Structure formats: structure tokens, C-alpha cells
Structure 1
Amino acid sequence: MNWLLNLQTPIILSLQILIIPTRNNMMKKIFEEEFMMR
């Protein structure tokens, strides 16, 4: 059970590292589009 947790943590961390920048880019893109529309 413990080794499973140890295996899981780096996977989740790396996923977050991948997901967070793309989400920030999407938010920025949406914000810029909204801003340009006005």
C-alpha cells in the first residue's frame, strides 16, 4: 500500500506541472479575447 502511494505522488505532481501552465494559458487567452471584444 505504501509503495503505491509513493508511486502515485510523483505522477500527480508531474500532472499538475503539466496542467497548470496550460490552464493559465487558456485563461489568459480567454481574458485577452474578452478584452479585445470590447
Structure 2
Amino acid sequence: EDAAQGNTPVDVIDMKLYGQMDGKSVLEKALSLINK
């Protein structure tokens, strides 16, 4: 449901680009940057 709203499209892009890699690490990094 949250994804439908698209609160953070960056996360979606990261997940798509780094889907094969560690998505969690990318998400955590992205969230850290966003929180900053």
C-alpha cells in the first residue's frame, strides 16, 4: 500500500537497479541519506 502512494520513489529505483545486489544495504543507505 505504501508503495502505491510512492512516498520514496528513490527506494524503488534503487531496488530495481540493485535488485540483484544487496537491496537491504542500498535501502539502508538511501534511507540514511534521506533522513539526513
Using the size of structure 2 for normalisation, the TM-score is: 0.40
More helix by share: 1
Using the size of structure 1 for normalisation, the TM-score is: 0.38
